[in-house]
Amino acid sequence: MGKRLPRDSPARRGAGPRPGSPWQLGTGNWELLTPSLYRYLDMPAELAREPRAEARVTATVSLPIELTFALFMLSKPERTHDRAGSEQLARIREQRPDLVDRVRAFWAEADYPEWGELLLLTNQAGALLEDDIDRLIARLMAAAAQPVEVPDLPTEPPEVRGYIAGRLQALRTDPARRDRLAAILHDTWEYAVLPGWEGDGRTTAEQTAQRIARQLESGTDLTRVVPANHLALREGIRPLLNAALRAGHIYVVPMSVTSSGQCVFGTAETLLISFGPEAGSKAKRRREQAEAAAGRFKVLSDPTRVAILTRVLQMPTSITDLALYFDLSQPTVSVHMKMLREAGLLESTRSGAQTLYSASSEHVRDFVRQAGEIITDEELIGC
């Protein structure tokens, strides 16, 4: 029996979309798929259509989007995951050891770990809001057995359209491959999506969708409600976002399957923007980490200061002796020593009336190593 959303979930309240209207739902320009706020309209539309006169933005949770992103996560090499993703991957390997290998072996294009064909099949099947995993898989496989036109995909590199077309062709002509994909989708749901979908993750995603709907309804610009570091706001994608805002449709989908991952996918007029709950905070942490690393590098960026450090590494030395040794004024030496001391690189001891400063080679090496670790932190590199 398939798993369903709770009765009070945004994707379950009220009448759902008809199969002919997969991506065009709701009434207002800014909307959440909740009939208590808006009512559904039967307005057929597909990913590739003539531009509409009015832009529309829909905020919603979506099971097929969660499933597609989970497959992307399973397809990515381990080194590209952040800490949370690595832990999730390890848990899945422990519970279902063969799943990751099956996902990665399903398609030949190892350099295209995304599963864009599933997003087009979701559109073809009108299944964006399908909340039952068994029905979703059945609808996707039925769509996969039919010809699916691949529109231009300006969010993707040029070769991706060919990859997706080839994958859809392989699925259409090979029933056995469709069966294998159906089994992968079911296992991915059970081991990668379901734990968060039935826990706090889905609740958080629904609350985020509601918040976004309220912000947009009050007039807040879309670019202010999605994470500041989102791919959709990058220079290469921004014109597509602006075009969709003028005369297209944008779907904003908070996810539970990832903590900080994000996705943008679509045509020239219809965009999907999805992200995990920590996608925005990750950018903030990146800036904080960058400032911390830059501060450490700044300490060692001045050649005179580095020379002073090397001197006190050799022997305990006073500020007076350092000024004589480097032919500098004592105030100048004091400024450099203050920075080294505040960075924790110096130790001081009293010798009569003098204060002698020294440094530990091991401590200096740790200082440099930690600066590198800050900017290569796996928690901030992966998605």
- Tell whether the model's pLDDT for residue 356 goes beyond 70: yes
Domains of the chain: 30-277 (no CATH), 284-381 (1.10.10.10)
- Please give the average per-residue pLDDT across 298-307, as a whole number: 93
How many whole angstroms from its chain centre is CA 208?
15
Highest mean pLDDT among 139-143, 253-257, 367-371: 139-143
Tell me the pTM.
Answer: 0.66
Question: For the chain, what is the mean pLDDT?
Answer: 81
Q: Which residue has the tokens 């002796």?
A: 321
Look at the chain and count its residues: 383
pLDDT digits 0-9 by tens, 231-250: 888 888 888 888 888 878 89
DSSP string, 21-79: -SS---SSSEEES-TTT---------SS-PPPSS-EEEE---HHHHHHHHHHHHHS-GG
Q: Burial of 375 by CB count in 10 Å (0-12 exposed, 13-18 middle, 19+ buried)? A: middle
Position 369 scores a pLDDT of 86
For residues 340 and 309, give the distance between their C-alpha atoms in angstroms, rounded to a whole number: 8
Long-range contacts of 134-137 (CB under 8 A, 24+ apart): 134/1, 134/2, 135/2, 136/2, 136/63, 136/64, 136/67, 136/185, 137/182, 137/185, 137/186
Among the residues of the chain, which ranges form H helices? Answer: 63-75, 83-95, 99-106, 116-125, 133-144, 158-173, 175-188, 194-197, 200-217, 238-247, 279-299, 303-314, 319-326, 330-342, 361-375, 378-381
Residue with more model confidence, 65 or 296:
65
Provide the 10 A C-beta neighbour count for residue 133.
23
Position 280 scores a pLDDT of 63
